[in-house]
Structure 1
Amino acid sequence: MSRAFTREEDSENAIAGVGERPISTHRNLVTERGMAQIEDNLADLRDIMAKAERKADRERIAVVSRDLRYWTARRESAELSVPEPGSDVVRFGMGVTLQSDDGKKVHWKIVGEDEADPAKGSISHVSPMAVALFGKKVGDVASVNGKEWEIVKLSES
């Protein structure tokens, strides 16, 4: 194929050897914090892009362009979801404290895919644990990977 028929962004990605970031097929539910993170990422990337353009750094421009496309698409598809105050069942955006059979307790906040960080106590709403918890109440048991977890507390954060 002639180079005349390629898109500029394709050639930019080829320069840096970067592919597109995959976008999830799941609903893009976000908390208020998740929406703010998307906006922060976009603002940071615009600043980085301006610096890269001033330096004519084609590789950096390609990478940042790719990331800008990703975060722009995520912002456009974002659905802000706030848990109903006083809800007695597990919903998106809520905190859930669980206890295993051996007495181990964990606390997870169920958030959007882009804001999930299990090391910091947040899991994606499409994770097996979150899916197993949705709609359950305190005292109910969720089974994930052959292990049972009892819901001992719900919180709005």
Structure 2
Amino acid sequence: MSRAFVKEGSGELDPLPDLPISPHPNYVTPRGLAALRERLAATQADLARLRARPDRLDKLPEAAAERDIRYLEARLRSAIPIDPAIQPLTSAAFGLRVTVADDQGHETTYEITGEDEADASLGRIAPHSPLARALLGAEPGDTVTVRRPSGPTSLDIVSIARP
């Protein structure tokens, strides 16, 4: 048998490449900071469970957990907590909920949160997203223009509130 396609090694897996870290400031809400800590604890528990397996032939899950732990630890080290409770409700800011109305009068509420907490299905948007950049600093009664792939859209700021 030809040995050309056989890779012999120590059985150890090279570390997986790190997950990309955003170049943007890592602003987090108290809820987002708690979620990062919970994810880190859960991933550390998963790694301990994986290392305790009697059959450890597949090292890829362990390598993935180690990579995720490095990412979460980096995100926690760079976290800049901002409490929405101290933000004034005069203009849209990080951590606040902004209700907007489109040209047809349809209202939607967005919450400007940290990147790791952003979830479009829950109306949570990252502060560097085009929508959040358009909303930041706007006051109730203002109209902002959001550039979307389908073209610019005007949104009226209806209200600003805390989550």
Once the two structures are superposed, the pairs formed by residues 1-157 of structure 1 within 5 Å of their partners are 11-13=14-16, 19-55=17-53, 56=56, 57-83=58-84, 84-145=86-147, 146-157=152-163
Q: Is the 8 A contact 2:27 2:114 kept in 1?
A: yes
In structure 2, distance between residues paired with 1:69 and 1:10:
16
Displacement of 1:86 after TM fit? 3.8
Q: Which runs of 4+ in 1 moved over 2 A?
A: 83-87
Q: Which structure 1 segments of 5+ residues have no match?
A: 1-8, 14-18
Between 1:48-57 and 1:90-99, the stretch displaced more is 48-57
Counterpart secondary structure, 2:15: helix
Preserved contact between residue 29 and residue 81 of structure 1 (Cα < 8 Å): yes
Asked if structure 1 preserves the Cα contact closer than 8 Å seen for 2:13 and 2:63, the reply is no
The alignment's TM-score, normalised by the length of structure 2, stands at: 0.84
Deviation digits for residues 49-102 of structure 1, max 9, x if unmatched? Answer: 001111234111100000000000000000001233443011100000000111
Larger Rg: 2
Change (3 A) 1:71 1:127: same
- Tell me what 1:3 maps to: none
Once the two structures are superposed, residues 18-75 of structure 1 have per-residue CA deviations (whole angstroms, 9 ceiling, x without a partner) of x321110000000000000000000000110001111234111100000000000000
Compared CA separation, residues 65 and 90, structure 1 to 2 (3 A): same
Alignment correspondent of 2:6: none
Instruction: Output the aligned Cα RMSD.
Output: 1.5
For these two proteins, the number of residue pairs brought into alignment is 144
Q: Deviations over 1:114-146 (max 9, x none)?
A: 100011111111111111111110000111120
Provide the TM-score with structure 1 as the length reference. 0.87
Q: Please state which structure has a larger fraction of its residues in helix.
A: 1
Whole-angstrom CA distance in 2 between matches of 1:69 and 1:151: 39
One-letter amino acid of the structure 1 residue matched with residue 94 of structure 2: F
> Which stretches in structure 2 are left out of the alignment for 5+ residues?
1-11
